[in-house]
């Protein structure tokens, strides 16, 4: 199993490495809301969060400003929807990994770690841009807080114990932060090796856990 890329079927990736979520309408076409979110993600990934405006999205999508406001009352609502979609994608990837890990020691913990480091993870620039947009309004991070609280509760049920499981998750997110800040070169091959080491640690620590 390619440990950090086995959930490819869960998402579709555009040419600029922004993962898009294609939720078709009844005619089989992506919904207008999803089309706008795709365009917003591409915009912030390419040009930064400061360029995320409704005027820019009108030009990018061809949707009128009234059409945008119908789906997103303001920019905060748009950013929160983008964050929620990141959370939803990660959960889809985690479900795929969990299927692959059936029968493995502490499969739940492993699926959480693999989803966090997955090569299908959105471009680092996109993550950084969206978080920057949310920095001035912490309430926009509510979807991430809810996901984190739920994950920590699950980590407490790990065979390793909550503290060890959290340390491994912190290691993953620390690596991703280094990548987002451009402090290290970190690609899919590096994630594969990192994943092998982490999963080995889960097995080794699980054998010694009380």
Q: So what's the pLDDT on residue 19?
A: 39
Residue with tokens 């789906």: 71
Every domain of the chain and the residues it spans: 10-208
Options 1.10.357.10, 3.40.50.300, 1.20.1250.20, 1.10.150.20; which CATH number does 10-208 get?
A: 1.10.357.10
Q: So what's the pLDDT on residue 15?
A: 37
pLDDT at 31 over 70: yes
Residue with tokens 């406001």: 69
Q: Return all residues near 12 (Cβ < 8 A) that are at least 6 apart.
A: 19, 20, 21, 22
Q: Return all residues near 61 (Cβ < 8 A) that are at least 6 apart.
A: 35, 36, 39, 68
Query: How confident is the model over 150-167, as pLDDT tens digits?
Result: 999 999 999 999 999 999
Q: So what's the pLDDT on residue 210?
A: 55
Q: Return all residues near 146 (Cβ < 8 A) that are at least 6 apart.
A: 87
pLDDT at 103 over 50: yes
Q: Cα(26)–Cα(20) distance, rounded to whole angstroms?
A: 19
pLDDT band at residue 74, thresholds of 50, 70 and 90? very high
Question: Could you report how far apart the first and last alpha carbons of the chain are, in Å?
Answer: 29
pLDDT band at residue 187, thresholds of 50, 70 and 90? low
CA distances to 80, 104, 144, 151, 152 from 87, in Å = 11, 25, 7, 12, 15
- Residues linked to residue 77 through DSSP beta bridges, in sequence order: none
């Amino acid at each position: 199993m390619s440990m950090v890329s086995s959930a490819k079927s869960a998402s579709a990736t555009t040419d600029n490495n922004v993962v898009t979520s294609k939720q078709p309408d009844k005619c089989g076409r992506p919904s207008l809301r999803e089309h706008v979110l795709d365009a917003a993600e591409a915009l912030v990934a390419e040009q930064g969060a400061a360029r995320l405006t409704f005027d820019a999205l009108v030009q990018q999508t061809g949707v009128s400003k009234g059409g945008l406001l119908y789906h997103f009352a303001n920019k905060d609502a748009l950013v929160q929807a983008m964050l929620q979609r990141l959370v939803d994608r990660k959960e889809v990837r985690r479900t795929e990994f969990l299927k692959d890990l059936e029968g493995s020691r502490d499969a739940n913990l492993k699926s959480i770690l693999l989803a966090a480091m997955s090569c299908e993870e959105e471009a680092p620039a996109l993550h950084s841009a969206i978080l920057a947009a949310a920095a001035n309004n912490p309430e926009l991070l509510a979807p991430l807080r809810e996901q984190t609280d739920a994950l920590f509760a699950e980590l407490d049920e790990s065979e390793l114990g909550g503290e060890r499981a959290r340390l491994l998750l912190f290691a993953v997110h620390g690596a991703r932060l280094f990548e987002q800040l451009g402090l290290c070169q970190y690609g899919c091959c590096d994630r594969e090796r990192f994943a092998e080491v982490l999963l080995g640690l889960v097995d080794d620590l699980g054998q010694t856990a009380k």
